[in-house]
Structure 1
Amino acid sequence: MTTTHAPVYASPADVAAFGPYGPGRTDRPGPLYPFQGRITADGSGGHPAEPGRYHLYAAYVCPWAQRAAIVRDLAGLKDVVSLSYVDDERDARGWAFRERRGPDPVNGFALLAEAYDATEPGYPGHISVPVLWDRRTNRIVSNNYPDIPVDLGTRFAEWADSGVDLYPEDLREEIEALDEEIARDLAHGVHGVARAATQEEYERRRGEVLAALDRLDARLADRRYLFGDRLTESDVQLWVVLVRYDLLHNPLAGIGERPLTDYPNLWPYARDLYRLPAFRETTDFAALRLTTRPAYRGDGPVRIAVEPREADWDEPHGRAAPTGQGR
């Protein structure tokens, strides 16, 4: 006899009652992402690649979580690694499960903090997504966001359903170098502009982001993807920043007067990737819109005013499709 339990949901996010997320969690000494287990094909380290064993907790609002979700789908792992989403809003309790995004299908938790406490009782630190959960040991494998997409993209080839090779051996060193550049200058860069406390820091940091956008726009002038005709993890990392730029990052931080839609190569490139189900189906534009100003935005600088920009992501991109890729 199968017993069906009612879904468990957290109460609505309430900053007035619980306080904002961050203080006491993200400002503690020690690593911000302390769970750093790795999936391996041979099981060394205790986490062998197996179908049905692992679950990915993600959030539509988080670019790092979306990056992992996209890699999972591109790698052909929808039936190998399960996926669920936390709610878009959080208070001091951290990420939670609410009706908007559905319940926790694995553990029935109301708060993602329960997964952290199950792994380390009394866990005091940052409650982040993505989280890779091991159903067999009932513990977190990793919340270290740079590692999770790598493991999803490389460790499950035996069970992948005709997935794309996002880490081809001959490009791995170049992919790692470009990933580091994108993370430094864009993924972390946009947040650095938002957090800038002085006018000098603000101008320097936004100049670095704008220079990176110009550099990557030029790189894409004569190629479909960052490494030519082959879609790689670097494209995923860049795209999750681009899809948030006009709705979130630029209006929040005041980075530049030029929207993504004015970049002659980045904008068609971003729309080209959006045509792929892995990118489209993991995107909810409602979750990406700037609704309130987060507490971390620095108040010192005088920022340029940028309005959120709604764009037509379904507009034809006009880029050539190499044989066997991107369709």
Structure 2
Amino acid sequence: MGLLNNGIWQDKWYDTGKTGGKFVRSESQFRNWITPDGAAGPTGDSGFKAEPGRYHLYISYACPWAHRALIFRTLKGLEDMIDVSVVHWFMGENGWTFEKDPDGLVGDKLFGSKFMYEIYLKADPHYTGRVTVPTLWDKKTGTIVSNESADIIRMLNTAFDGIGAAPGDYYPEDKRSEIDEINERVYHTVNNGVYKSGFATSQAAYEEAVYPLFESLDWLDARLSRSRFLNGDTPTEADWRLWTTLYRFDMVYHGHFKCNIRRLADYTHLWPYARDLYQWPGIRETVNADHAKRHYYESHDMVNPTRIVPAGPDLDWDAPHGRS
């Protein structure tokens, strides 16, 4: 894991010594939007018009933030409009790379790059900051539209509706305030909470993160006792933002990040709910458990110095969920 400093790559981890042992996530820096007519969006300097074949998505099958974007590409039927390149699961001294792997999934389809940071330098030769996925690239102007997953999924949700995207609105206007409220808590205590627990370098910082994480999981379990999904009878953005963390929870976060007060499989409602979303049309095709496990256990040698990948857990994601 590293970053670019004025266009120069540096192998540099997060400095938790300055934050009392706490992990503090960096802010995304490319925040432009794709819109139906190319007008500017809520953030950024300019807009990019929704056009078939114009955009390219860089993702990692290991990363829950990138997984969100891949899911929305599937939900909205944008596979033929937006092509995808996949980074290698291992993140070492050069950050995300396109090193070839036996299954043939990894590679930069646009430029044949060796490192993901090369894509950032094409957009800004003097870029300073972390090199992350998902990254949404504009082939027409040769730059990065966005590297913020929360923005990318909202673009994919509506921007292409007039040019052949599948029906469905996962951020409906009448539920937005409720979705935003759930997202706010889930982001800080669950999505990012597992990282704050796992990357903490002091007992106090770890406990400050892990207890709110499970308080929120308990809260979500109770909420799901009253409805099939977080906002009613159909999934919304809030469900998919939560689900990519739940998918990795027992497999990675429970052990690797010490989020072990309870397993996802111990929850009466959360575990069937997670299986319900996994079995949603097209979703199982967006996952790669091997990439996810190997990325965390082998890349984070500061957490797992032996880089041994555990054999379990044995989870049956296809078991009947009983929530319909």
Which of residues 18, 32, 35 is equivalent to 1:37?
Answer: 32
Cα displacement (A) at 1:26: 5.8
Partner of 2:199: 195
Partner of 1:163: 167
Q: Does 1:241 align with 2:242?
A: no
Partner of 1:323: none
Partner of 1:47: 48
The residue identity in structure 2 corresponding to 1:119 is A
Which of residues 215, 220, 231 is equivalent to 1:216?
Answer: 220
User: Residues 77 and 169 of structure 1: is their aligned pair in 2 closer, same or farther, counting only changes over 3 Å?
Assistant: same
For structure 1, the residue ranges without an aligned partner over 5 or more in a row are 1-12, 14-20, 300-305, 321-327
CA contact (8 A) 2:64 2:244 kept: yes
**Segment drifting more, 233-242 vs 287-296:** 287-296
Identity %: 39
Secondary structure of the equivalent of 1:39? strand
Partners of 1:137 and 1:283 in 2: CA distance: 31
Partners of 1:298 and 1:179 in 2: CA distance: 30
CA contact (8 A) 1:26 1:125 kept: no
For structure 2, the residue ranges without an aligned partner over 5 or more in a row are 2-8, 16-24, 40-45
Partners of 1:106 and 1:307 in 2: CA distance: 35
Partner of 1:10: none
1:17-43 Cα deviation digits (max 9, x unpaired): xxxx9744766xx96421111112221
Q: Does 1:294 align with 2:300?
A: yes
Partner of 2:19: none
The residue identity in structure 1 corresponding to 2:35 is T
Partners of 2:78 and 2:11 in 1: CA distance: 36
CA contact (8 A) 1:75 1:166 kept: no
Partners of 2:113 and 2:37 in 1: CA distance: 31
1:266-296 Cα deviation digits (max 9, x unpaired): 1101111111243211101112225337256
Cα displacement (A) at 1:183: 0.5
The residue identity in structure 2 corresponding to 1:90 is M
CA contact (8 A) 2:171 2:236 kept: yes
CA contact (8 A) 1:24 1:125 kept: no
The residue identity in structure 2 corresponding to 1:281 is E
Partners of 2:58 and 2:81 in 1: CA distance: 14
Secondary structure of the equivalent of 1:317? coil
CA contact (8 A) 1:274 1:313 kept: yes
User: Residues 181 and 257 of structure 1: is their aligned pair in 2 closer, same or farther, counting only changes over 3 Å?
Assistant: closer
CA contact (8 A) 2:297 2:304 kept: no
- Aligned pair count? 293
Partner of 2:315: 311
Q: Does 1:227 align with 2:231?
A: yes
Partners of 1:251 and 1:90 in 2: CA distance: 19
Partner of 1:89: 90
CA contact (8 A) 2:96 2:116 kept: yes
The residue identity in structure 2 corresponding to 1:129 is V
Partners of 2:90 and 2:10 in 1: CA distance: 13
* Bigger share in strand: 2
The residue identity in structure 1 corresponding to 2:272 is P
Partners of 1:67 and 1:233 in 2: CA distance: 9
User: Residues 183 and 278 of structure 1: is their aligned pair in 2 closer, same or farther, counting only changes over 3 Å?
Assistant: farther
Partners of 1:72 and 1:178 in 2: CA distance: 22
CA contact (8 A) 2:56 2:83 kept: yes
What's the Cα RMSD here? 2.5
Q: Does 1:79 align with 2:80?
A: yes
Partners of 1:269 and 1:171 in 2: CA distance: 20
Secondary structure of the equivalent of 1:47? strand
CA contact (8 A) 1:252 1:293 kept: no
CA contact (8 A) 2:120 2:127 kept: yes
CA contact (8 A) 2:194 2:213 kept: yes
CA contact (8 A) 1:58 1:65 kept: yes
The residue identity in structure 2 corresponding to 1:33 is S
User: Residues 245 and 31 of structure 1: is their aligned pair in 2 closer, same or farther, counting only changes over 3 Å?
Assistant: closer
Partners of 2:10 and 2:184 in 1: CA distance: 26
